[in-house]
Amino acid sequence: MQRSGIRQRGWWSVVLIGMLLIGLGIRVNGIFRVKAGLSHDESVSYLCAAATQSLYETGLPLQVDTPLVAADIQRYYAKPEHLQFQRVAVDLSQCDIHPPLYFWLLHAAHYAVGFDMRTGPLINVLLSLVLLVLLFQLGRSLFGGPLPALAVCAIWWLSPAVVAIDLEARHYQLFGVLAMMMFIVGRRIWNGAASLSVLLVFTAVNALGLLTHYYYGFLLLPGAVIMCLRYRVSALSLRYVGSLAASFLLFLFCFPQFLDFVPSYLGHTDRVAGGPIDQ
């Protein structure tokens, strides 16, 4: 009976690993054979990658009722002559609603290879593979073995929504990687294992998360509640709060343009497609 159970678990492992390989094949096929154009959001992502988003926002309205050729639009997606991380951050603070980390990655890739609509999806697949490893580790920790962890990975990896977002040059898989890392590291702190190295990793991960998506801040609230309920006002909870504060300061250090973005966003500025609108 014991040998039969081991053999059965082995077969299930083979099936689940096969499902993961099918998921990888679906993504490769989607990137290199199915994908034939850009969505609206992707077109904005590649403007950020080319460091021309503000140039596009201000320049395109001036070309209204003007004959255009393809080259007039393509120039906005041209490979930049040098890396312009600050320009990307400024453009996002003025013309968009996202922090810059993913777009910095896309900008670096755009500078290296020029425009290619497969660049973003390839970055996403690499991030998804990292997320898959993290999900397996978490599943094995929570369920006590590799087989349930593989099942969790297969369900997530083959989910249609996950496959679809992998094929979009957007920042959600990076968001997922950092959220998963935060949870894995945070569990150690919530359970009282808050060594200096763990707190430093937690601080760095959260800073990167804030640089990826503003909604990442909401993910930090449950952990803060857990610390308050378990440890009240204690040295551990104060170190936890200090780590969160340090993450925010690192975020501001890397993206000081956020201080310009906030009043602009809250004040409902009149920038829409590069021009004013009637109030």
Distance linking the first and last C-alpha atoms of the chain? 76
Any residues with CB less than 8 A from the CB of 3 and at least 6 apart, and which? none
Any residues with CB less than 8 A from the CB of 173 and at least 6 apart, and which? 124, 127, 128, 131, 165, 166
Buried residues in 187-220 as b, exposed as e (16+ CB within 10 A): eebbeeebeeeebebbbbbbbbbbbbbeebeebb
Tell me, rounded to whole angstroms, the distance of Cα 56 from its chain centroid. 24
Q: 63-99 pLDDT, tens per residue?
A: 777 888 888 888 899 999 999 999 999 999 988 889 9
Rounded distance between C-alpha atoms, residue 230 and residue 248, angstroms: 24
Rounded distance between C-alpha atoms, residue 105 and residue 203, angstroms: 21
The predicted pLDDT at position 279 comes to 40
Rounded distance between C-alpha atoms, residue 171 and residue 180, angstroms: 15
> Which of 115-129, 188-202, 255-269 shows the lowest per-residue confidence on average (mean pLDDT)?
255-269
Q: 135-189 pLDDT, tens per residue?
A: 999 999 999 889 999 999 999 999 999 999 999 999 999 999 999 999 999 999 9
Rounded distance between C-alpha atoms, residue 256 and residue 14, angstroms: 49
Rounded distance between C-alpha atoms, residue 58 and residue 56, angstroms: 6
Helix (H) or strand (E) holding 151, with range, is helix 146-157
Could you tell me the pLDDT band of residue 252, with boundaries at 50, 70 and 90? very high
Nearest to 150 by CA among 163, 164, 137: 137
Q: Is the separation of the CB atoms in 117 and 149 below 8 Å?
A: no
Residues making up the chain, counted from first to last: 279
Give this prediction's pTM: 0.89
The predicted pLDDT at position 6 comes to 59
